[in-house]
Structures are given as structure tokens and as C-alpha cells.
Amino acid sequence: RSSDREQDMIIDAASTEGELTDNGTVTFSGDVRMDQGTLRVRADDAVGTLRDGEIVRVVLTGAPARLQQEDDQGQPMDARAARIDYDLATDTAVLTGDVEIEQPRGNLRGERVVYDIATGRVRAGQEGGRVRMVIQPKSGQDS
Amino acid sequence: MNPTARRIATGVLMALAVVTGIAAWLLRPQPVDDAFIGPMRSDYTLGNYSLVALDETGKEQFSVTGPQLDRDPLTETFTLDKPFFSFPQSAGGEWEARSEDAWISADGGEVRLTRDVEVLGAARPDRSRMRIESEQMTVFPRDDLATSETLVTITDRGSTMTGRGMRADLAARRVNLLAQTRTRYVPPRR
């Protein structure tokens, strides 16, 4: 949801190590669970980047890492990828490596997908990578 | 000796044996109660003290003030009540630490803080300071190292980190929470 970005972000992990300096990094290792409003990410490891003491980016990796969220209409989105690079400043998550995205309106596969955390919009294929999309047929009542 | 006399003699002997046994039991050496060995008497106690610990080169390792300090003559260690420590940092500024109790090793190389431990990192230009809270922490001033085996809470600007077990490099502000960690980050309101 667009309100997710204003929620507290909670990151649980087996262990955490970091330089608590203004522009340091924090490494979360083992069974990483990141929650922020309806945004839920599960991964093996994650690295948070601080700028002026604020977390501005979180890169999560897993086999695969998984990102789930609801959009403002309550529609669920479920994505899997080897790597999820969440930029809090621009509210975008770049998913790379065997990306699979499932949404009620259809599924999408590719190597690199940019997901807008605020709007739920998905962009894929700009870098020439092949994208495969399956649009679900509208069921009888909808048409 | 006729049978009656023999029976009387036997009876007397048995009676004597019983009396001797009882007397021996009553007069057995009493176990010495462990004399109550209380805390070693300090060779000195300071009230409202201020102490500065220097290393071999004469550089200050830390300073501590508090209402009471006791020195153990045997181990040459110190126990402190409600101490307030200051650990100068090579990069400038100092860490401060307070707790209900503390113990300092003879050479000042190890400081154990227990109960309501609170550590404040060196102040930043914006005057914010990292805070570490726990029930137990050990500081190794020479190595700028702090460790804890218990639950630790670290608060720094918008973030709160908790975990069980900690190793912290105070100079580099590098903290490692060893298990069951949770970081809560409050984003700046847009």
C-alpha cells in the first residue's frame, strides 16, 4: 500500500552486525524477515545502508528471496527473486535473478523487474532481458 | 562361677558396654560449624571517590566516580556501588557507562558492569548518542571492546536493535548482536 512507506520497518534476523555510524552498513544474517505495513520480505541475508543515520536501502538475497505486498485496492502481489534491492528514497524495489511475479491480473517472469512499492506498478524488460507474461482471462462475470 | 553369678556378671558387663557406648557418642568430636566466611574485609573503602586508571604508558584508560568503592586486598580487585564510568575514545569524545554494581580487575583491563547497565556512545555533532542497555556488560578498555551475554537493547536515532549476546567495538562503533535480533526502524515522517 502507498502508506507502507510511512510505517515502521521491522527486520528480524538470527544475527545482526553493523557500524552504527552515520553512513555505515548493517548486515542481517539468517532467516531475515522484513515487515513494513503490508510489505513482507523473507530472505536468507540482507544488508542495510545508512545515510546520515537513516536506513536508505536494503538489499535482500535468498534462494529465492520473497516479497509480498497489497496494493491500495487490497490486491496481493507475490514476487520471488534471487536478489531484491529496496531503495527507500525512491520507493522502488529492483528484483533480479529468476524473477517471478504473481498478481491477480497475471503472472510475469524475467531476469530483471522494477517494482514500485508505492503504486504496485511493475516495469520489466528495459535492459533487453526477455520477459514472459501470462494475463489471466477475465472470468465470465467480469466481461 | 555358678550360673546366677555368671548371669549377673554378664548383665553388668553389657550395662557397662551400653554406658560406655553412650558416653563415647556424647563425647564424640563435634563437627566444627563452617565459620561464617563473609566477604573479604576490604583493606580500604572509599566514599564519594573519583578514580582514574592509567595504562602502562600513562594514558588514561578510564575514569570512574561513585558513592562507594571497596578494594579486596587478596585479589587487588575493586567492587563499586553505583559507579559512573567514562571511557575516552582515541577518535575523540568518550563513552559513558553506569550501572548498579561493577567490578574492576587488578590491572584495570577488565570492567564488569551488572544490573541496570546503560552505556552512552560518544556524542555526535548533532549531540545524538547511541545508547546500549542491558543487565550485564563487560568492558575491556584497552581493546575498546564491550561484550554481553544477556539481552541487549541499542537505541540510535530512529532505530532500535535488540538481541541476545553482543560484541561491540566501541572505537569503530561496530556492534554485533549474536542471536534473536530485531531491528525497528522509524522512517523520517515525510
Q: Does B80 share its domain with B130?
A: yes
Note whether B121 contacts A: Cβ–Cβ < 8 A: yes
Number of separate helices (H) and strands (E) present in chain A: 0, 10
Residue B90 within any structural domain of the chain: yes
How many domains is chain B built from?
2
Higher-confidence residue of B112 and A107: namely: B112
Nearest to B146 by CA among B163, B131, B172, B167: B167
Residue B39 within any structural domain of the chain: no
ipTM of the complex: 0.84
Q: 10 Å Cβ neighbour count for A86? A: 26
Best of A6, A7, A8, A16 to mutate (most B CBs within 10 Å, chain B): A16
SS3 A3: helix
Helix (H) / strand (E) containing B12: helix B3-26
Q: Do B178 and A15 touch (CB under 8 A)?
A: yes
Cβ atoms of residues A1 and A116 within 8 Å: no
Residue B36 within any structural domain of the chain: no
Q: Does B21 share its domain with B66?
A: no
- For B14, the domain range is 1-31
Residue B154 within any structural domain of the chain: yes
Residue that the C-alpha cell 554481553 belongs to: B148
Q: pLDDT tens across B46-78, in order?
A: 999 999 999 888 889 999 999 999 999 999 999
The CATH number given to whatever domain includes residue B58 is 2.60.450.10
Q: pLDDT tens across A2-22, in order?
A: 788 788 999 999 999 998 777
Question: Closest to B185 (Cβ–Cβ): which among A9, A22, A24?
Answer: A9
Q: Does B18 share its domain with B95?
A: no
Residue B163 within any structural domain of the chain: yes
Q: Does B119 share its domain with B170?
A: yes
Single-letter amino acid, residue A115? Y
Q: Does B92 share its domain with B19?
A: no
Q: Does B1 share its domain with B85?
A: no
> What is the spatial distance between Cα B177 and Cα B161, in angstroms, rounded to a whole number?
8
pTM of the full structure: 0.78
Q: Do B182 and A11 touch (CB under 8 A)?
A: yes
Worst-scoring range by mean pLDDT, A80-84, A88-92, A116-120, B39-43? B39-43
CA-based nearest residue in chain A for residue B183: A11
Q: Does B24 share its domain with B106?
A: no
